[in-house]
Amino acid sequence: MTQDLSRIYPSGEGSVTALAPFTHTFPQGLTAVVGPSGSGKSTLLNLLAGFDTPSSGRVVVGGTDLHSLSEAGRADFRLKHYGFVFQNHNLVTILSALENVEFPLTLAGMKPKERRERARELLERVGLGNRATHLPGQLSGGEAQRVAIARALACDPAVLLADEPTGNLDTRTGQKVLDLLTAQAQGGRTVVLITHDRDVAALANHTLRVRDGVVSS
């Protein structure tokens, strides 16, 4: 939930409103956030994730005011409650697909045998059990993005934040990624997907539109 959330940046003698104050409750299911480049979509995502600090307002997740936490506290909260899928998959290039999925589980303190089993199960779930030992450079763009989804699900988060996850993929490959995300939404997670693609937005249960920093439903 956001409550009077805004982001204003100083600019010379004035200021720029990247996101005007808005209040919204994000339900379970898939919410698409749509708008042109520079509209404020990424600002919203960064505030929801706690990567940026709001000028006013709050982000409340499961009763916790995210921005009341310390920087370390927000990082720990993200690890336990959030999963992230970016346009560029952001996999660690020197780690295999399996090791990339294991990485957040290592940070969470899971025992080696348990995290290895969990990572293998997630790769199987996204159809990449046979690619576990491959490095990111040996994967196609769609495969790398599916590994990123498996990694995002590693700690069983309640919230998935996806920033243009199909932006660099062809239509067929992008659909596979969308199918995985919509399945998570149907399974009871809250999925917030940033997109400028109307066809992608049409798959969502809910839509928010952002233009010039103003959010409307």
List per-residue pLDDT tens for the chain, 217 residues long.
Answer: 999 999 999 887 789 999 999 999 999 999 999 988 889 999 999 999 999 999 999 999 999 999 999 999 999 999 999 999 988 889 999 999 999 999 999 999 999 999 999 999 999 999 999 999 999 999 999 999 999 999 999 999 999 999 989 888 888 888 888 999 999 999 999 999 999 888 888 989 999 999 999 999 8
Position 168 scores a pLDDT of 85
- β-strands 206-211, 29-34: how paired? parallel
Catalogue all structural domains in the chain, each as residue range(s) with its CATH number: 2-216 (3.40.50.300)
Q: How far apart are CA 106 and CA 151, in angstroms?
A: 12
DSSP state of 28: S
Compute CA distances 139 → 1, 123, 174, whole Å: 37, 13, 15
pTM of the model: 0.92
Position 167 scores a pLDDT of 84
- Whether the CB-CB separation of 127 and 149 falls below 8 Å is answered with no
Beta strands in 90-183 (DSSP E): 159-163
Position 196 scores a pLDDT of 85
Which residues lie closer than 8 Å to 40 by C-beta, 6 or more apart? 18, 19, 210, 211, 212, 213, 214, 215
Position 36 scores a pLDDT of 87
Position 14 scores a pLDDT of 83
Q: Measured in whole angstroms, how far is the alpha carbon of residue 13 from the centre of its chain?
A: 35
